[in-house]
Structure formats: structure tokens, C-alpha cells
Structure 1
Amino acid sequence: MPFRKLASIAATGILGATLGLAVPTAAQASHTCRSPGVTNNGDGYGIMKGGYNLKVAPYSDCGNVAFLGKGTKLYFWCLSFNEYGTPWMYGRVAGTSTYGWMSIENFSSMTGNRGICP
């Protein structure tokens, strides 16, 4: 294979790989990690069934606020569904002034009112 043709194929492969890295995946492009509006219209709480990260927005790939261990209580402010239809609670960690989002799948028990976020 002539050198010029080989170099052209290599350059095309490198360019394609580089462009592929620059294009976000569908999951990354579909949402931002901005918290939706919240209001304190819940009076319930949930108990963590294991150790999970409290999030800055209602998506598992968003940034972490704090790690909550098994048995931690989260006081509910409001419930929101992300664009995938997954329900998340916004609330305050008991005994702290730490707030954030937690998937309802991570609670072993939930009690009280779970008001909807605006």
C-alpha cells in the first residue's frame, strides 16, 4: 500500500476518533445537572437502605452533595420526576443544613406527605 494512501487512512481514523470523543452520548446530552425548583411542601421523611450519594440534581450522573450512610434520615421537601420518569426526593439531611436530591429507590422506608416540587 503506498505511503500516501496509508497516511490518509490513518489521518481519517485519528480525525474520526477525535470527533467521536467530542460528541456527547445521548445520556449526557439529554439533561443538565441543574436542580429544578423546590419548595418545602412535604412533611415526611425517608430512611436510607444503604449508603448513597445525595445529588445536586435528580440524575445519578450529576455531582454529589454528601454521602449518606445506611439508616440516615432525609426530611422530604418535595418530589420531582426527572426526564426519564424516575422519582427523586429533595430534602434535608436530619440534624444538618445539608440539602439535595435522592432517588426514592434508595429508601428502605418512607413516611408522611411527599408534596410535588413546583
Structure 2
Amino acid sequence: MRRNAGITACASALLLAAATFAFPATAAPSGAESCTSHQVPSSGYTPTDGSALDEAPVRSGPHSTCSVRWYLDPGEDFVYWCYVYNESGNSWTFGYAPEGGKYGWVYDPHLADYGSKTQCP
């Protein structure tokens, strides 16, 4: 598998102790609420520089039914934070655009290197 699933006990403890912010995401696309229910830690991750491969919709959650916040232009910088698999088995990366500080979810085939290599909790 392309992702390293191993996490040390120390890193796990840090992640559990990290303060969290509510960022939009979804576990099931059964309505607007599902696109805003995921918690993404505010610390414990090393952001990774990345970019869009094509015009990529940045959504409020990791599903195609979640609202589009804006679009990344091809080659535009997008800092990867972490990824999740949605209920359909699709991989989505949470990140932000350094210019403007906007954040959201992008379907990994739209991202260089197929997005983040760090799994969200």
C-alpha cells in the first residue's frame, strides 16, 4: 500500500493530546451535516508542500457531494495536511492554499504525488 500505516506510541500520544479544530469533512454523504462533521487536528502533523495537477475543486468535506469552496488552478500550491478515505473508498487530502490561507478537501487524483501520505485520525 502507498501509505505508511505505522505510527509510534509517542506520535500517537501527541496526536491524542493535540487540540483540535472542526474542519469540514464527511463520513457519509447523506446531507450537508455529513460534510461538516470531521475533526482534523490542529497540530501533530508536518505539512507537505504540494500542488494541483489540474483545475481541482476544493470542497468542504471529502466527498463529491460536499460544497465547493473554490478551485485550485493547475500548478497552484496546496499544502497537504493529511488524508482520509471516504465511505466510497476514495482518498481525499485536507490542506490549505498558502496564498489566502483557505483550507479544504481535494480528491487525491487532482494532486501531485496523489496528495498527503499522512492519514488523518
TM-score range (shorter-chain normalised) is 0.5 to 0.7
Greater share of helix residues, 1 or 2? Answer: 1
TM-score under structure 1 normalisation?
Answer: 0.65
Paired with 2:50 and 2:90, the residues of 1 have a C-alpha distance of: 17
Q: Does 1:66 align with 2:85?
A: no
Q: Does 1:94 align with 2:67?
A: no
One-letter amino acid matched to 1:36: H
Structure 1 runs of 4+ off > 3 angstroms? 27-31, 108-111
One-letter amino acid matched to 2:107: S
Q: Which residue of 1 aligns with 2:58?
A: 54
Query: Please, what is the CA RMSD of the aligned residues?
Result: 2.5
Residue correspondences, number: 91
SS of 1:33's partner is: helix
SS of 2:62's partner is: coil
Higher relative contact order, structure no. (Cα contacts within 8 Å, ≥ 6 residues apart):
1
TM-score under structure 2 normalisation?
Answer: 0.64
Which of 104, 107, 110 in structure 2 is aligned with 1:106?
Answer: 110
Paired with 1:63 and 1:50, the residues of 2 have a C-alpha distance of: 19
User: Identity rate of aligned residues, in percent?
Assistant: 24
